[in-house]
Structure formats: structure tokens, C-alpha cells
Amino acid sequence: MSTIKTSNLDNSQKTCPHNSQITCGDCRLGSICLPLAMESDDIVKLDEIVQRGRPLQKSEHVYRENDDFSSVYAVRSGTIKTYRLTGDGQEQVTGFYFPGEILGMDGISKDHYANSAKALETSAVCEIPFNHLEQLSTQFPSMQRHFFQLMSQEITNDQQLITLLGKNSAEERVAALLISISARNARRKLSATSFRLPMSRTDIGNYLGLTIETVSRVFSRFNKQGLISVEGKEVTLLDSDGLKSIANIKVTEHPL
């Protein structure tokens, strides 16, 4: 059924990353999202529970902190920022999520979301109701195993962020973020050396515990040292090994 539906799409629809008619079986992110290692018949069953709404516009929320937990979300296109509000109402950025990555798992333990999530640019997400996902996970061991891996990675990411913020050097923090984005792009079969940063310098500073002035100085310093080339939000890594050396941590291909 899904094959017939997709075959009726014209080429512009097929390639549009925001197209809600693209199924899990046709999605270019299928190899890194939840359907990993699933058989085609199993993917069809996953398709039946996935909800694909209209594209999110910049600053539009996927969910808000303390909303009742009901679903996890897979980013299909664009970039999503998660954040918490501090006691004085200021945002504290807790993560950036790129296509193929899953967010919302912070709501599992207490049945409400611990963070808010909003789009940094025009984005699209696949909503996966958690109660249905639990049922499917018991039927398909490969999906259950992959979901457990995702939950484990969330714990690892939190530990990495704590380690990162414990470092004194702003250069280490910025280099680690750039290498993380590079690795995640490579995982999606995109360029690992040239990419656009969808987040603002303010968001980067907020996430890394640095002022916007410090972030700008580090980017300028890296540029002068020949480590990167920067034009606005467009970044080219000229010396990835040098950045890894500065980061001085083992950076994974998942969010920090």
C-alpha cells in the first residue's frame, strides 16, 4: 500500500525533506532512525503508528517542558533545539537534534517532558506514540534493541555534556561541538567537513556555558589558525584532526 502511495508522488515531492507522505520505507534516514534492521513487513507496521504532521516553522514548539508525555519524535528535516527554563525564566539549551535523531525520551521516567523542544528552522518530525511503540517493541526484537540503545545513548550524552562543561577551555568546548556535528553529518551521508550551523552563536554559548563574545572569539581564532573557515553560519573544517586534538575527548557521532 505504501509503495503505491509513494509511486504516485512527483519527483519534487519525493525529494522534499518536509513531505509528510514519505514513508519509513522510503525515507533516506531509515538506516539511522528507529526502523534500523527491521524487515520490510515490520516497517509497514511501524508506518501505521507514525504520525507525520505539517512542517514546523522556526521557533514553533514540538512540545513544552512539563507537557504530558505521550510520544517520542524523530527529526525528519531541519534542526530541533531542546531547552529548560531556569528559575528566573531564562532558557538553558540542553541539546540540538538533527535529521534521523530521536528526542522526547526525557519524558519516559516521570510521564512529562523535562525539556521544551522547538524548531531552529523550518523542520519536520515524525511523531511516534509511545504506547504503540512499546507494543511494537515487544513484537520486533531488533526495534526494541535499537530503542534501548537510543536510551543508553541519551544517558551517555548527558554524561558527555557534564564532562564538557567541566573543562576550563572554551576552545575545547567549541571544538568538541564542531566535531560532534561533523560526525553526525557523516552518519547521514552528508559532508563531514562543510556544513551550515543552524543554531545561533547565542544558542551555542548557552549550550556550552560560554558568552556569545567568547564563542565568536574562538571561531575567529580557529579561523586564523587554519582549523576552520567561517562565513556567517557556513563552516568548513580544514583540520579535523587538529580540532579533535583540541577537544581532547572521545567524541561520538551522537549529540553531546
DSSP 153-220: HHHHHHHHHHHHHT-S-HHHHHHHHHHHHHHHHHHTTS-SSEEE--S-HHHHHHHHT--HHHHHHHHH
Taking residues 109-118, what's their average pLDDT? Answer: 94
Listed in sequence order, the residues at least 6 apart from 173 whose beta carbon sits closer than 8 Å to its beta carbon are: 164, 165, 167, 208, 209, 210
As a whole-number percent, the residues of the chain with pLDDT over 70 amount to 66
- Strand, helix or coil at 228? strand
- Strand, helix or coil at 131? helix
H or E element that contains 110: none
pLDDT for position 132: 79
pLDDT for position 37: 46
pLDDT for position 41: 58
Higher pLDDT, residue 87 or 53: 87
In angstroms, the Cα distances linking 139 to 92, 136, 145 are 38, 5, 11
The pLDDT mean for the chain works out to 79
Taking residues 114-120, what's their average pLDDT? Answer: 96
Taking residues 223-243, what's their average pLDDT? Answer: 96
Higher pLDDT, residue 131 or 15: 131
What DSSP state is assigned to residue 89?
A: S
Q: How many Å apart are CA 117 and CA 97, to the nearest integer?
A: 10
Rounded to 5 degrees, what are φ and ψ at 78?
80, -160
Q: Are 130 and 118 in contact (CB under 8 A)?
A: no
pLDDT for position 117: 97
pLDDT for position 221: 97
Higher pLDDT, residue 21 or 140: 140
pLDDT at 240 over 50: yes
Q: How many Å apart are CA 118 and CA 111, to the nearest integer?
A: 19
Q: Where does the pLDDT of residue 36 fall: very low under 50, low under 70, confident under 90, or very high at 90 and above?
A: very low
Long-range contact set of residues 90-98: C-beta below 8 Å, sequence gap at least 24? 91/206, 92/206, 93/203, 93/206, 93/207, 94/161, 94/207, 95/157, 95/207, 95/255, 95/256, 96/120, 96/198, 96/199, 96/203, 96/207, 96/255, 97/255, 98/181, 98/184, 98/185, 98/188, 98/255
Cross-strand bridge partners of residue 52: 126
Look at the pTM and tell me if it is higher than 0.85: no
